[in-house]
Amino acid sequence: MSEDQKKILESQLWGIANLLRGKISADDYRDYILGFIFYKYLSEKQYLYANELLVGEEVTDYKEVADQDTLEVIKEESLLKLGYFLAPSQLFSVLAAKGNADTESESNYILEDLKSVLNHIEQSTMGTESEEDFNALFEDLDLNSTKIGRTVGARNEIIVKILSHLDKIDFKLSDMDADVLGDAYEYMISEFAAGAGKKAGEFYTPQQVSKILAKIVTSGKEKIKSVYDPTCGSGSLLLRVAKEADVSEFYGQELNRTTYNLARMNMILHDVHYRNFDIRQEDTLENPQHLDRRFEALVANPPFSAHWKGDANPLNSTDERFSQYGRLAPKTKADYAFLQHMLHQLADNGVMASVFPHGVLFRGAAEGHIRKYIIGEKNWLDAVIGLPANIFYGTSIPTCIMVLSKCRKVDDTIVFIDASGADCFVKEKNQNVLRNSDVERIVNTYRNRETLDKYSAVVTLREIAENDYNLNIPRYVDTFEEEEPVDLDAVMKEIKTLEAQRAELDQEIAGYFKELGLNF
């Protein structure tokens, strides 16, 4: 039933985008639609919780409560339970109704009221435990932006249209599985990512890739104390891990402010309590926020070959995250800097799985030195998985997943999987897509540590060392397809037959030319 509910909800929510398509660019209306869905969610949660508190009272409908003492009690309880507070007059349905008012009898102008409500949600958390989780959460919803309308009236009309459409959708928070709305919200994020081109990589990892990473780091586990993503985008990877195991705490860091806000909204919409997640906005490499913690599971999709300060920042050479390796990642390719950061944050019993460009497998110089240390000195590399090209939004380059663990045995092998072949994915529109069967094949091969013909190989550390720690997958997984032998005698006979046929045609054509009095 939940799957059917989710599909219906996804269709209803995406209907808002269809209303605005052609009037405002997708990049501009994305933040408004996602932000207002979040506001409606907060409003409905507040209404349901307040009504629970009013059971047995004289007034049992929160919208009708006017007594200030009662409101104050509800506010105190809401801040503890929900992390925020909305008064009856600030509920989504109240503002939506005002926006749909008969313009002849009363004003339907709601921009100032809406701005006030969104500010109030953030201000209500001041001085409480949830302050950091709600601070500036709605800053991307600029109701004065000319991107959504050149005049105040035009902007109000667009906002009213969004709120009116949303108001007709019943989120059914009281009788639906908590994941239904959260997954519908994820669907919205993925649809916006699909149409965002290069920008999509900033905030979204394709669902099937997320599934692989999540299944790998939860292998053999039903409960995970903490999961961490140092480049968390919209938080989809963190939340995907929670579908594979019971996760107690979520940690993440994100540089882009808009995406950071989206991640916090995504967490709350998936019913993750504000005390159970800690998402920070900073540059992970230059200003890490969770260095005092170690995590049992770590998933990531860092920006491919990003620039960083490297040795231009003298502090990096003494930073405990990088110093033991003896070399720093090059300034123009921060891939190994992210990998080193993640290894530093990984608990001794933890597993990390992260996406990287293929270059991390074989590039030399400093990166080769770091790679040799990770494998030869520390024995932390557990698996290398090659993915198809063109499965990430915004880039068509082939990518890989590196799996690392600090609790491997001395004689453990490394699993290489080549999941980039033509039979390992399907093409949908302009994107290559992994099917559920492709995901299961990758995960099962990793877990079972299988050698499969032209797909995977289980390799010893000695063989890796003999290859000078070059991890290029074709060195270990032979995907070469032999061509069928050519029968030269048959080919020569066919050529002679064709030549004879050509001679006959030449004679026939010459006859036609002769009849016409022409030379052939």
pLDDT in tens, 45-71: 999 999 999 998 989 999 999 999 999
- Architecture per CATH, domain 197-475, reads as 3-Layer(aba) Sandwich (3.40)
18-22, 150-154, 462-466: the lowest-pLDDT one: 18-22
Provide the whole-model pTM.
0.88
State which fold the 2-194 domain adopts: Ferritin (1.20.1260)
* pLDDT at residue 514, as a whole number: 73
Residue 197, pLDDT > 60, answer no
Annotated domain spans of the chain: 2-194, 197-475, 486-520
Residue 441, pLDDT > 80, answer yes
* pLDDT at residue 1, as a whole number: 43
Rounded to an integer, the average pLDDT of 201-215 is: 86
Rounded to an integer, the average pLDDT of 191-209 is: 71
**Is there a contact between 271 and 244 (Cβ–Cβ < 8 Å)?**
no
Rounded to an integer, the average pLDDT of 24-28 is: 73
List of residues 6+ apart from 238 with CB closer than 8 A: 227, 228, 229, 232, 250, 252, 267, 277, 299
Tokens of 297: 């599971």
* pLDDT at residue 178, as a whole number: 64
pLDDT tens-digit series, residues 108-154: 889 999 999 999 999 999 999 999 999 999 998 999 998 888 899 99
Rounded to an integer, the average pLDDT of 209-216 is: 97
For 174, the 3-state DSSP assignment is: coil
Question: Taking Cα atoms as reference points, which of 164, 136, 162, 167 lies closest to residue 149?
Answer: 162
Considering the chain, what is the average pLDDT of its residues?
Answer: 90
DSSP annotation of 458 reads: E
Return the amino acid letter for 24.
I
**Matching CATH topology for 2-194 and 197-475?**
no
pLDDT tens-digit series, residues 147-167: 888 899 999 999 999 999 999
Q: Tell which wins on pLDDT, 517 or 457.
A: 457
Question: Taking Cα atoms as reference points, which of 215, 227, 337, 336 lies closest to residue 278?
Answer: 227
C-alpha–C-alpha distance, residues 331 and 309, integer Å: 6
* pLDDT at residue 196, as a whole number: 60
C-alpha–C-alpha distance, residues 160 and 162, integer Å: 5
Rounded to an integer, the average pLDDT of 199-203 is: 54
Rounded to an integer, the average pLDDT of 200-208 is: 73
Residue 105, pLDDT > 60, answer no
pLDDT tens-digit series, residues 264-284: 999 999 999 999 999 999 999
In 436-491, which ranges are E strands? 456-459
pLDDT tens-digit series, residues 312-363: 999 999 999 999 999 999 999 999 999 999 999 999 999 999 999 999 999 9
pLDDT tens-digit series, residues 314-323: 999 999 999 9
C-alpha–C-alpha distance, residues 386 and 225, integer Å: 29
* pLDDT at residue 188, as a whole number: 87
Q: Tell which wins on pLDDT, 481 or 404.
A: 404
Question: Taking Cα atoms as reference points, which of 244, 113, 267 lies closest to residue 181?
Answer: 267
Buried b (16+ CB within 10 A) or exposed e, 148-186: bbeeeeebbebbbbbbbbbbebebebeebeebbbbbbbb
* pLDDT at residue 195, as a whole number: 67
32-36, 105-109, 254-258: the lowest-pLDDT one: 105-109
C-alpha–C-alpha distance, residues 70 and 240, integer Å: 40
Residue 473, pLDDT > 70, answer yes
Q: Tell which wins on pLDDT, 264 or 2.
A: 264
List of residues 6+ apart from 240 with CB closer than 8 A: 207, 210, 211, 213, 214, 299
CA distances, 468 to each of 42, 328, 361, 372, 375 (Å): 55, 19, 11, 8, 11
